[in-house]
Amino acid sequence: MWRDLAPIGRDAGTGGYRRYAWTGADADCRAWFRAQAEARGLAYEVDRNGNQWAWRGDPAAGDAVVTGSHLDSVPDGGAFDGPLGVVSSFAALDELGARGATPRRPLGIVNFTDEEGARFGVACAGSRLTAGRLTPRRARELRDADGVTLADAMERAGRDPEAIGPDPERLARIGAFVELHIEQGRALDLGGHRVGVASAIWPHGRWRFDFDGEANHAGTTRLQDRRDPMLTYATTVLAARKKARLAGALATFGKVAVDPNGVNAIPSRVRGWLDSRAADEDTLAAVVAAIEQAARERGARDGVAVSVTRESFTPVVEFSHELRDRLAALVGGGAPAPVLPTGAGHDAGILSEAVPTAMLFVRNPTGVSHSPAESAAEDDCAAGVGALADVLEGLACG
């Protein structure tokens, strides 16, 4: 399975993945998912938001145990963030068969659409729409860097953008959702563990900062006559690092767009996207407010207008304690498996308000993620499949 998936959407130059929602690479990933489902005789369906589902047993019976993750990537992402969870889901189902374990509840595998929000800017768009945490109207109007709307992109991919929206009936059939994911950090490695269980997801969000100055000639405009948005942006980036450090939080400006982006032109506008995360929502709000204030103060000095728009936000997620503890016991073997929080968002977090959810993490020896250098050892991945099979057997077959 891994070998079939590996070449899809991989950039030969960087080795990173470019599997963005509703692109050709996404379509190839989705074709791979469907082939895996049908090769196992699973009932295959695509829901109104484009999420793919593969079922053993009839989901209408309810109380289903569902596992899965996402197949899309960030720009030049790694091979494991998302796909490890989907491949491990199919492999764990195969393992149940090998064990002769017979599910007495419906078992589902899901590929959530557009988890990374790399193209249209909102993370977990497929699961948010399904959980009613992203309005269909706002979703349809999201635009990519070329101005293509999500609605147009879905239409071109053969989906009906007018059909998107909440799917409470579908969520009501799920008794438990368990997502396996590569750890995006080194806690398991530092503790010498192959597999761990998630306790919580830090609150996190994305804010777009627009810095509007005055285009002018780089070679003839005196410094004192400039209204240069690049200065305000640069100051804001440095302020973000300082405010986050002081608060024990995280802040990243990973994406910037400069207009007109000419070497010899003072920009008219700079747009920077802030990703910020903290252990609690008050700290996060305070850090973002401090960064915004620093931006406005510098903007006043530079004669640059500053506007800030929140584009995506996920409140703190506390996974179901019952499910968390049950998983820790199921996968721990002798001693309970380690339980750890994460700063990375996941579909499991989005669903956690509507469905009992849990996550398994597989050791990441370097902690690196959202990079072509992301890696995991094969035996750790196999241990993850075994752990997921233990969980599915314990929840659905016990």
136 binds, among ligand HGY, Mn ion, none (CB under 5 to 8 A by kind): none
Q: For residue 312, what is the enclosing H or E element?
A: strand 305-314
Q: Which is nearer to ligand HGY, 272 or 345 (CB)?
A: 345
Q: Which is nearer to ligand HGY, 116 or 212 (CB)?
A: 116
Give the interface size with Mn ion as a residue count (CB under 5 A): 2
122 binds ligand HGY (CB under 6 A): no
State which of residues 110, 122, 123, 330 lies at the interface with ligand HGY (CB under 6 A).
Answer: 123
* CA nearest neighbour of 265 among 217, 210, 209, 207: 217
State which of residues 345, 356, 384, 386 lies at the interface with ligand HGY (CB under 6 A).
Answer: 345
Alpha-helical regions (H) of the chain: 2-5, 24-39, 83-99, 125-130, 136-141, 150-156, 168-172, 187-191, 229-247, 281-302, 321-331, 347-351, 378-392
81 binds Mn ion (CB under 5 A): yes
State which of residues 47, 72, 114, 116 lies at the interface with ligand HGY (CB under 6 A).
Answer: 116
Q: Which is nearer to Mn ion, 81 or 275 (CB)?
A: 81
Q: Please, are residues 93 and 108 in contact by the beta-carbon 8 Å criterion?
A: no
Instruction: Output the six-digit token pair for 48.
Output: 């109104």
82 binds, among Mn ion, ligand HGY, none (CB under 5 to 8 A by kind): Mn ion
State which of residues 294, 344, 350, 355 lies at the interface with ligand HGY (CB under 6 A).
Answer: 344
State which of residues 16, 57, 68, 82 lies at the interface with Mn ion (CB under 5 A).
Answer: 82
List own/partner pairs for 351-355 with CB under 8 A and 24 or more apart: 351/127, 351/130, 351/131, 351/171, 351/174, 351/177, 352/317, 352/318, 352/319, 352/320, 353/131, 353/133, 354/131, 354/168, 354/171, 355/171, 355/174, 355/175, 355/176, 355/177
292 binds, among ligand HGY, Mn ion, none (CB under 5 to 8 A by kind): none
Residue 245's SS3 state is helix
345 binds, among ligand HGY, Mn ion, none (CB under 5 to 8 A by kind): ligand HGY
Residue 55 CA to residue 245 CA, distance in Å, equals 46
The residue to which tokens 């050791």 are assigned: 363
Q: Which is nearer to ligand HGY, 57 or 82 (CB)?
A: 82
47 binds, among Mn ion, ligand HGY, none (CB under 5 to 8 A by kind): none
Contact flags string 37-76 toward Mn ion, x per CB under 5 A: ----------------------------------------
- Contacting positions for Mn ion (CB under 5 A): 81-82
